[in-house]
């Protein structure tokens, strides 16, 4: 295989990843809208250094050149606890500071919205679990549990 073929193969996935960013990640709480976030983030890493839960990771090339070294969270792997420290240390405002109180968090943070897959949820299979409720940083506000600890995610989920 010639050098031209290797270059073409190598650039193909990167180009398509830039056009179709993954939606399986969240930006840290207080992050601006994606295009504005990408234009402001200077890849300093301070948000990840301050994170007490160590849930902030940084993209390599897998999500496209524009996202390299930008912070993201995969809540299924390690959830954000909404400590809001990342916005306090962001030098460019790509992640906005948000007060560590319920009302400012509910009004200013829109990271994503949890969805319960009832076919996978143990509580919907007749086995009490409650792990999602205990892991949520906003229990009784963003998530509640009913009979057999079946979870219900409210519109206040951030």
- For the stretch 45-82, pLDDT in tens is 999 999 999 999 999 998 889 999 999 999 889 989 99
Considering the domain architecture, whether residues 134 and 73 belong to the same structural domain is answered as: no
Query: Among 112, 120, 111, 114, which Cα is nearest to 152's?
Result: 114
Whose structure tokens read 């050149």? 65
Give the confidence band of 25 by pLDDT, cuts at 50, 70, 90.
confident
**What are 94's two structure tokens?**
């790509």
Considering the domain architecture, whether residues 98 and 54 belong to the same structural domain is answered as: yes
Domain total of the chain: 2
d(CA 11, CA 138): 42
Alpha helices by DSSP H, listed for the chain, are 3-19, 34-40, 46-50, 85-89, 102-108, 131-135
Considering the domain architecture, whether residues 92 and 157 belong to the same structural domain is answered as: no
Residue 5 lies in a domain: no
Helix (H, G, I), strand (E, B) or coil at 82: coil
Give the model confidence (pLDDT) of 121-150 as tens digits.
999 999 999 999 999 999 999 999 998 899
Residue 34 lies in a domain: yes
Residue 13 lies in a domain: no
**What are 123's two structure tokens?**
């509580």
Considering the domain architecture, whether residues 118 and 144 belong to the same structural domain is answered as: yes
Among 107, 130, 145, identify where a domain stops: 107
Considering the domain architecture, whether residues 27 and 69 belong to the same structural domain is answered as: yes
Domain that holds residue 76: 23-107
**pLDDT surpasses 70 at 14:** no
Q: Partners of 31 in the beta sheet?
A: 95
Helix (H, G, I), strand (E, B) or coil at 101: coil
Considering the domain architecture, whether residues 49 and 121 belong to the same structural domain is answered as: no
**CATH code, domain with 80:** 3.30.70.20
Give the model confidence (pLDDT) of 69-124 as tens digits.
999 999 889 989 999 999 999 999 999 999 999 999 999 999 988 899 999 999 99
């Amino acid at each position: 295989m010639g050098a031209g073929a290797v270059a073409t193969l190598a650039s193909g996935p990167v180009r398509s990843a830039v056009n179709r960013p993954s939606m399986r990640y969240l930006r840290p709480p207080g992050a601006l809208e994606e295009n504005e976030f990408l234009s402001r983030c200077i890849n300093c890493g301070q948000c990840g250094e301050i994170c007490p839960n160590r849930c902030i990771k940084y993209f390599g090339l897998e999500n496209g050149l524009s996202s390299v070294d930008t912070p993201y969270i995969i809540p299924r792997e390690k959830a954000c606890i909404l400590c809001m420290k990342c916005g306090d240390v962001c030098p460019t405002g790509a992640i906005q500071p948000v007060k560590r109180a319920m009302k400012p968090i509910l009004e200013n943070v829109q990271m994503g919205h949890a969805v319960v897959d009832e076919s996978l949820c143990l509580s919907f299979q007749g086995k009490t679990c409650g792990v999602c409720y205990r892991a949520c940083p906003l229990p009784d506000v963003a998530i509640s549990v009913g009979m057999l600890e079946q979870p219900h995610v409210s519109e206040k989920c951030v």
